[in-house]
Structure 1
């Protein structure tokens, strides 16, 4: 049966089942309760505000998407319309068998102009988190998932000395309203990507199109500069990001709420090839300072998709003829075990797997990827490593930044015209594992 027909029937037998959006309101989620389980193992899936909510017009990336020239293959537009359909998506998350949803709160919505906080948007995110709790879905909140307000980018983003103060002010305001509903939180999503890209010396920020896009964005916003996560100078921005994490951590921990706070990092399995290879140097420069920051937090979030092969002169890329995903990564799900072990040893902190997944049109390969990755998680737990979650990227096929809508990471397909949600076989497969837990 093809995926387009899956939503016409429902099979809720634990391991396999499919249901379309039209049936969600008639089903009782398996984990329905007044409050999500606290501090248990989190089986979940992930979203990010700009990638699923739609029409995030006050964000820096919205500007980038809508100027010419642009690096973005598509405009985000309505994307999945999750902003208006969050209740259906959270109900679907619970129905599939997950007890956690990772989501981000959009700074650009909450503080659309500097110092002007929107009570209406805080109300919105409060309703989102309350809906998670109603369905027994623990909300894992990311305070910054790449995007920032356009006013913040127009003044230099995280390259300015007071950027940490501004971010921690936002974190304090958001926590004061939302903290009592949060299960776990991350200050930043993958801030170390700047160091990883800098190591490769292949930064998109220096390409002719990127420079023209930045100039067009500055002109469109009436500013002299326009600095986003992608375009910031990593040498200048790094100390401000580190300070922002530290200050936001303190602001969030001040409450209300009592929940773990950390930072999520993009970590690949770094494998050296040949004598005198640079793999350890690459590892140190890509992750070192942020693993140190995580060691002073409550946990480290591990986000792994593949491995890197490094030789004597640097990055080697995937081996010829190897299976690649839609993102050009090597299909290598076993990388997750190595990155969990590395992060745990480097920080001495609990590990939350906050992203793991694959961009592919072939859902059977997604299922195989999930099985291998979870087997690695089980091995780590069996070896005594404190692993507290497996959160899959992503819940929905969504807007994948400069790559647009082509890469398909979702457990659930989204019709771009009607917004109908159709769970893929992988959604039910992973949901069954989540319901039953890892076999012992």
Structure 2
């Protein structure tokens, strides 16, 4: 079925499109499927994934790539929601990190070996103890989604993806922050881009960076409360209001550099 879907989409993507994502965040889809069974729920963490769903997603991805390869110059891959899992240093935490992280993150990065590119989506990190994931510490800055403020997530995701995929070209396909304080959005994005630049200096092939998001969006079960956008909008009049972060980000893009200050 997914092959037929890709074939139906082919006339759309073969004209002027360079990069195509076959499946967005397959690891999240497998975990949501697993979470349908209460036995798979994990305190402070992500559900145990449905491995049958994961296998089906990978097969669909590869068949879709076969179809897309008919278009000369078209680059295809999938995008993985990397989690920047980290052992907290307690005895047994490294073992639990491997057990917890592999089916939720690493497996999908390894499966991208041989693809044209791999999309990395990164927002925060999660510490893993000997018994599993830990709640966000009380003494760290958090965002409106309750995640730790962690600009280094993009660099962590790139380094992990580069190593596990065997050097597939990478693109940050999502990175951003839910905050009502736009100065923290600028700080988060600045930190992310600095980390990405360090990855490039270390020889990691990074194709580009896509910020999440242009507009304050409807964020799944959280609704409109977490504001990720560079641009605010009025839900009654639809008037759009660029935030200072949009002007700052535009200046960075125009200069293609982070080394000089920008007026916000």
**TM tier, shorter chain?**
0.7 to 0.9
Query: Mean alpha-carbon deviation: is it higher for 411-420 or for 291-300?
Result: 291-300
SS of the residue 1:181 aligns to: coil
Cα displacement (A) at 1:271:
0.9
State which of 43, 52, 57 in structure 2 corresponds to 1:236.
52
Change (3 A) 1:439 1:367: closer
1:184 paired to 2:19? yes
Residue 81 of structure 2: aligned partner: 266
Cα displacement (A) at 1:276:
1.4
Residue 41 of structure 2: aligned partner: none
Bigger Rg, which one: 1
Per-residue CA deviation, residues 269-315 of structure 1 (Å, 9 max, x unaligned), is 11101121022222212123312321131111100000010000000
Residue 43 of structure 2: aligned partner: none
State which of 264, 272, 293 in structure 1 corresponds to 2:111.
293
Cα displacement (A) at 1:378:
0.7
Cα displacement (A) at 1:235:
3.0
Per-residue CA deviation, residues 355-376 of structure 1 (Å, 9 max, x unaligned), is 0001111111101101111110
SS of the residue 2:195 aligns to: helix
1:352 paired to 2:159? no
Q: How does 1:406-417 map to 2 (within 5 A)?
A: 406-417=225-236
SS of the residue 1:349 aligns to: coil
Cα displacement (A) at 1:346:
0.8
Contact 1:195 1:285 in 2 (8 A): no
Residue 326 of structure 1: aligned partner: 144
Cα displacement (A) at 1:197:
6.0
1:245 paired to 2:61? yes
Residue 133 of structure 2: aligned partner: 315
Cα displacement (A) at 1:345:
0.9
Contact 2:154 2:196 in 1 (8 A): yes
Gap regions ≥5 residues in structure 2: 39-46, 260-264
Residue 388 of structure 1: aligned partner: 207
Larger RCO, structures 1/2 (Cα 8 Å, 6+ apart): 1
Distance across 2 between alignment mates of 1:420 and 1:285: 43
Distance across 1 between alignment mates of 2:37 and 2:103: 20
Q: Which runs of 4+ in 1 moved over 3 A?
A: 194-198
State which of 174, 179, 184 in structure 1 corresponds to 2:9.
174
Contact 2:125 2:153 in 1 (8 A): yes
Contact 1:306 1:332 in 2 (8 A): yes
Contact 1:196 1:285 in 2 (8 A): no
SS of the residue 1:323 aligns to: coil
Gap regions ≥5 residues in structure 1: 1-165, 208-230
Per-residue CA deviation, residues 48-97 of structure 1 (Å, 9 max, x unaligned), is xxxxxxxxxxxxxxxxxxxxxxxxxxxxxxxxxxxxxxxxxxxxxxxxxx
SS of the residue 2:249 aligns to: helix
Residue 111 of structure 1: aligned partner: none
Cα displacement (A) at 1:439:
4.6
TM-score relative to the length of structure 1: 0.53
Query: What is the aligned length?
Result: 246
**RMSD across aligned positions (CA):** 1.9
State which of 232, 240, 249 in structure 2 corresponds to 1:430.
249
Contact 2:30 2:53 in 1 (8 A): no
SS of the residue 2:15 aligns to: helix
SS of the residue 1:192 aligns to: helix
